[in-house]
């Protein structure tokens, strides 16, 4: 029973996290501007979910497929919606998003070319695909570190969206337990790291007050701002 409980709950939480950024994407599309929405995690989400799909199909593992296939479809849609909203003068953001997407595609194609033509044994193939997916996952989990620096510097934890960070911890905990149960380091390894980072963010939420900045007349509404903040957290939260 436990062997089903943890992965099934992990699938549900992973998809909930991926799709919880939908309101922020819809609002940005309606406004015709990104606002505070960061498009870089969206591009990382594309590379991450596709990488995990390659690993899941190679193992094979239906639970990992179910937790990433819907997210991959959503990530492609999100990027297609957000890319036209990046201001033309914001060359740094455009360049970063392009490099992530192009670099991720080139990396996967190069890896698969090697795996096929070198006739790599299946166990080694699974290992390399898992290592690649976990590497992308670690990059995702490392992204919130900038928020941690901001919280400590300003003594304000408003940029950490508590409910979603708590969900991240629960999700990563489920996948960590499942990964340990099946002896898969590429499942419990990156999710253990995600759990640690999530708990660190929750600790900051408890240690520092959450003071929302005073909104200007031309600023987005509180709901918009909350959705944008939530989306930055969500897109960094699932690696299985």
- Domain of residue 192 covers 2-84+93-210+220-234
90-99, 118-127, 184-193, 226-235: which has the highest mean pLDDT?
A: 118-127
pTM (two decimals): 0.76
The pLDDT, as a whole number, for residue 234 is 44
Residue 108 is assigned to a structural domain of this protein: yes
Give residue-wise pLDDT tens across range 132-189: 998 888 777 766 666 677 788 888 887 676 666 777 788 888 888 888 988 888 888 8
DSSP, residue by residue, 160-186: S-HHHHHHHHHHHHHHHHHHHHHT-HH
Alpha-carbon dihedral 164, 81, 69, 126, rounded to 10 degrees: -100
Residue 239 is assigned to a structural domain of this protein: no
The pLDDT, as a whole number, for residue 230 is 46
Give residue-wise pLDDT tens across range 99-127: 999 999 999 999 999 999 999 999 999 99
Alpha-carbon distance values, 124 to 59, 119, 178 (Å):
11, 10, 22
Residue 137 is assigned to a structural domain of this protein: yes
Residue 68 is assigned to a structural domain of this protein: yes
Q: Which residue has the higher pLDDT, 161 or 65?
A: 65
Our count of domains for the chain comes to 1
Residue 63 is assigned to a structural domain of this protein: yes
On the question of pLDDT at 225 being above 60, the answer is no
Residue 14 is assigned to a structural domain of this protein: yes
Residue 59 is assigned to a structural domain of this protein: yes
Residue 33 is assigned to a structural domain of this protein: yes
């Amino acid at each position: 029973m436990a062997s089903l409980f943890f992965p099934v709950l992990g699938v549900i939480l992973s998809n909930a996290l991926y799709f919880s950024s939908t309101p922020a994407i819809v609002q940005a599309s309606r406004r015709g501007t990104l606002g505070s929405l960061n498009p870089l995690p969206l591009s990382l989400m594309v590379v991450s979910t596709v990488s995990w799909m390659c690993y899941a199909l190679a193992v094979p593992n239906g639970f990992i497929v179910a937790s990433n296939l819907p997210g991959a479809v959503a990530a492609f849609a999100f990027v297609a919606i957000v890319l036209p909203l990046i201001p033309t003068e914001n060359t740094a953001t455009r360049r970063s998003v392009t490099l992530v997407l192009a670099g991720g595609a080139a990396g996967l194609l190069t890896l698969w070319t090697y795996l096929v033509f070198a006739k790599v044994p299946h166990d080694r193939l699974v290992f390399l695909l898992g290592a690649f997916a976990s590497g992308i996952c670690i990059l995702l989990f490392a992204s919130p570190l900038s928020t941690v620096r901001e919280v400590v510097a300003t003594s304000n934890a408003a940029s950490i969206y508590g409910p979603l960070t708590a969900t991240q911890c629960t999700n990563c905990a489920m996948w960590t337990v499942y990964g340990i149960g099946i002896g898969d380091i590429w499942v419990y390894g990156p999710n253990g790291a995600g759990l640690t980072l999530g708990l660190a963010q929750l600790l900051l939420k408890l240690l520092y007050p959450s003071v929302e900045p005073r909104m200007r007349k031309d600023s987005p509404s509180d709901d918009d701002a909350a959705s944008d903040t939530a989306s930055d957290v969500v897109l960094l939260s699932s690696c299985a």
